[in-house]
Structure formats: structure tokens, C-alpha cells
């Protein structure tokens, strides 16, 4: 079964495409910290990310899916853009 179909049918497992999200520390904290208003502090979100076991998977997801808002894998939108530019 392909992964997209598994997501649609709700059959995703810990080993699947987005299983890392269930283990993410941000899922256990205030989501507003990860999507601050423009000019708002990212300090608390980044602090959570530092000790998260799935930080790498999170950042990889954000880069692959061109996430334009929020803190993903410990990086802000601006930091992810810079990282992508350096990779090109």
C-alpha cells in the first residue's frame, strides 16, 4: 500500500512516513510557541527542539515540504531559507 493511501486511510504507523510526529516534543507543548506572530520570540520553541529526538526528521519534513511558517527542526523560516540556499 502506498504511503499517501495509508495516510488517507489512517493506517500510518510509528515506522511510517509521519510517525515521527507522534514522538515530537512539540506535540506535548503549546503549539502557539512554534508559530509566533511576526517579530515574536522563537526562543521557547527552539529550546524544546534542542532536546527532541525527532528534530532531524522534523527539519527534513519542513525542507521537503517547503514549510514557510513556524519553527521546524529547531529552525525558523528565515534559517530554513538560508539553509536551502546554501544547499543549492
Domain spans in the chain, listed from the N-terminal domain onward: 24-87
Residue 81 is predicted with a pLDDT of: 94
Q: Is 51 annotated as a binding residue?
A: no
Residue 15 is predicted with a pLDDT of: 52
Q: Is 58 annotated as a binding residue?
A: yes
**Pick from 85, 19, 26, 20: which is nearest to 50 by CA?**
26
Q: Is 26 annotated as a binding residue?
A: yes
Q: What is the pLDDT along the chain (88 residues), one digit of tens a residue?
A: 333 333 334 444 445 667 899 999 999 998 899 999 988 999 999 999 999 999 999 999 999 999 999 999 999 999 999 998 888 7
* Euclidean distance between CA atoms 26 and 45, whole angstroms: 8
Strand partners, 87: none
pTM of the full predicted structure? 0.76
Angle between the N-to-C axes of helices 55-64 and 43-50, in degrees from 0 to 180, rounded to the nearest 10: 120
Q: Is 49 annotated as a binding residue?
A: yes
Amino acid at each position: 500500500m502506498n504511503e499517501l493511501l495509508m495516510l488517507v486511510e489512517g493506517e500510518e504507523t510509528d515506522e511510517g512516513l509521519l510517525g515521527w510526529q507522534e514522538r515530537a516534543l512539540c506535540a506535548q507543548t503549546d503549539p502557539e510557541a512554534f508559530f509566533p506572530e511576526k517579530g515574536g520570540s522563537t526562543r521557547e520553541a527552539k529550546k524544546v527542539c534542542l532536546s527532541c529526538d525527532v528534530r532531524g526528521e522534523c527539519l527534513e519534513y519542513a525542507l521537503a515540504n517547503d514549510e514557510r511558517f513556524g519553527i521546524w527542526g529547531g529552525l525558523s523560516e528565515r534559517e530554513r531559507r538560508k539553509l536551502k540556499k546554501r544547499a543549492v
